[in-house]
Amino acid sequence: MPYSYADRDLLSDPPFHYMFSSFEGPQFFRDYIFSRQNARKRLGASVTPVQQGDITVPLPDAGAAEVRTDDILSQLVEAVRAGSTTHVRAWVDLFVLKFEASKRLRRSYGRGFKPLDRTVLGRNAYAQLAFLVASVMRGPTDLRLLNTLLKLNDLVLSGAQFDEATATLMGPAIDREMACVRELATRLRVTAPEQAAC
C-alpha cells in the first residue's frame, strides 16, 4: 500500500485535504516510514553549506506594502545557514499561518499579509519553508510545527524530480521530521523502526 499523502503531485493537483482523514492503523505508519526512507535515499547525502557572516533579517511588518515570498525565504535560509536565527521564528510562524490556510504559498503579500499576487510558487519555496520549520522546531512536542513540516515534506516529495537546491534543503527537513516522529512514537509506545533523537 503506498503512502497516500505523497502518491500524486500535490503541487500540480488541488491541495490535499488532511481534515477528517480516516484512521489507517499501523500499516499507514510503516508506509510513511518506507516512503520517507526512499525519498531520503533519492536525495543522497545531506549537504548544508554554512556561510560566514552576520545576516540580519528584519521582523515581519504587517504594514509593509509588499513582501516577496521568494526573497524573504531565501534570506531566512541564508541566515539560518550562517547560524543566525534572529527573527526567523517570527517569519516562520507567519508563513506557516499562510500555508496552513490554503496549503499554498503566494508570490507576494501586502498590508496585513494579505496575498497581493496569488501566483502559486514552485517546489523550492516549499522546500525552503520546510527547511526553516525544521530549523526552528523545538522538538517532537512542538506539534503545530511538526504537523506543518509533515505537510510541507509531503508536498515537496510528491514531485517526481528535484533540483539540487531543493534536494539540499529537503535532506535536513526529512531528517528532522523523521527523528521527531520516531521520538514521539517512542514516547507514546508506538513501534517505529530505527530510533533517532530529535
Cα 45 from chain centroid? 18
Q: Are 31 and 3 in contact (CB under 8 A)?
A: yes
> 176 or 28: whose pLDDT is higher?
176
> 176 or 62: whose pLDDT is higher?
176
Average confidence (pLDDT) over 188-197: 62
Q: Are 98 and 109 in contact (CB under 8 A)?
A: yes
Average confidence (pLDDT) over 92-96: 96
Quick check: is 95 in a domain? yes
**Cα-based distances in Å from 43 to 50, 75, 83, 185:** 19, 23, 24, 25
Which strand (E) or helix (H) includes residue 108? strand 106-109
Quick check: is 198 in a domain? no
Domain range for residue 169?
A: 4-13+20-47+56-187
Quick check: is 107 in a domain? yes
Quick check: is 196 in a domain? no
62 pLDDT higher than 90: no
- Percentage, residues of the chain above pLDDT 70: 84
Quick check: is 110 in a domain? yes
What pLDDT does residue 48 have?
56
What pLDDT does residue 83 have?
86
User: 185, 175, 137: which is closest to 153 by C-alpha?
Assistant: 175
What pLDDT does residue 195 have?
44
Q: How confident is the model at residue 176 (pLDDT cuts 50, 70, 90)?
A: very high
What three-state secondary structure class fits 74?
A: helix
What pLDDT does residue 146 have?
96
Q: In what order do the strands lie in the sheet with 106-109?
A: 67-68, 106-109, 115-120
Q: Are 58 and 29 in contact (CB under 8 A)?
A: no
Quick check: is 192 in a domain? no
Q: What is the pLDDT of residues 68-84, one digit of tens each?
A: 999 999 999 999 998 88
> 41 or 47: whose pLDDT is higher?
41
Quick check: is 124 in a domain? yes
Contacts of 126 (CB under 8 A, 6+ apart): 11, 105, 152, 155, 156
Domain count, the chain: 1
> 32 or 3: whose pLDDT is higher?
32
Quick check: is 123 in a domain? yes
What pLDDT does residue 133 have?
97
Q: What is the pLDDT of residues 118-163, one digit of tens each?
A: 888 999 999 999 999 999 999 899 999 999 999 999 999 987 777 8
